[in-house]
Structure 1
Amino acid sequence: MLKSERLHVVDHPLSRQKLAVLRDENTRQREFRQAMRELALVLVSEAARRMPTEAVRVNTPLAPTEVHRISEPVCLVPVLRAGLGMLDGALALLPEATVGFIGLFRDEETALPVEYYANLPRELERYRVMVLDPMLATGGSLSATLAKLKDHGARRISCVSAVAAVPGVERVLRDHPDVDLYVGVVDPELDDRAFIVPGLGDAGDRLYGTL
């Protein structure tokens, strides 16, 4: 089993339940989308645990009191297209977050990432960045995404994935040892097409019905 202080496997009864739905080949598109959104709620909640907060004073209906709010701006970055399946869940918890986008597809012959779109906020160094990508397979796409974000100034980055594979985790931790990974489960291997085994299939196809 992989061990790293940067790898956080969110082993929670709710994450197990949502993964059970996502892994099942008989799960219909509507239920798959809902389970991905709900799993994102669990994973993002854990990924936000280390966000700094600041004390502020508010008035309740009965008396003044001190409360705590997240003290840094947050930027969510779904990796297109599958990352969009986690965005609604993340925004439900972080509704004031800025959203940037990075579009990558995997060349089916080389399994290498190809960037086709990027739209990121200015002054990215101000933000605590959270990357949303359901599948961490070879790690190539996520590593390229992280390099792109760092080129734009990002310094505090975490990544949220539903399912990861050992080779992908090893690749990302090697290329970006300063980044935290929050995953629902780590599967042992990839097949000859670089798909996670047992995994849950192609998350984008199952989310958007392009099977």
Structure 2
Amino acid sequence: MQLKKIFFPIGGGEELAERIHGALLVNKFFGTHINIMACQLDPKMIYNVRMTLKGGVLMEEFLKSAGDEMRAEREEIKAIFDAECAKLDLDQNDDDHVPNSAALRHMVGIRSELVEKYSKYCDLVLVSVPPTGSITGTFEAAVTKSGKPCIVIPRKLQEFKADKILVSLTGTAASARALDNWLELLQRAKSVTVITANHYLQEGIPETKRRISDYLALHDV
């Protein structure tokens, strides 16, 4: 699979610099263009309707305060993005055609919906592990609703290599496509570990193992 463009969605929260740094490391490894989308929720979307009707000055003050916080968050993300691009010597460029480059885009709306929509226009979706380990709506949208291959990275990533690769084969069409998409990367790995689940076994463990091993060996893995 020839990669040209990576998509990486982020929100606020902790370890922001670390997450951006990790995403840029992956982008540098592949020599691609990465589009980092910073998502913010419009305060008008969550403000109580009855309070809005009675709002008056209170409503105006709330929206002004929320707007100031959103601008401050955008400035913080941009400063981190600039610093991390400089560290890794990555060109900042909005043109998807430029290799070894990165672009930051700010979007306002429901994060999971934005991720599902914009992740369809890339070759690879990159997502960091949720902070508590529990699957979030944003994580699910990135991994299962984009229709694209996805790499999940830790929230703190100091180095990205593809020497050791873990492949999950679940018997689904999606996992079969994922395997085919990444055969070239698997060929370069020093170690490949394949996992599956009992209810996906095909005629028992030995037969399932044989089928997987034969297919990978056919492609020099």
TM-score band by shorter chain is 0.3 to 0.5
More helix by share: 2
* Structure (1 or 2) with the greater strand fraction: 1
- How does the TM-score come out when normalised to structure 2? 0.33
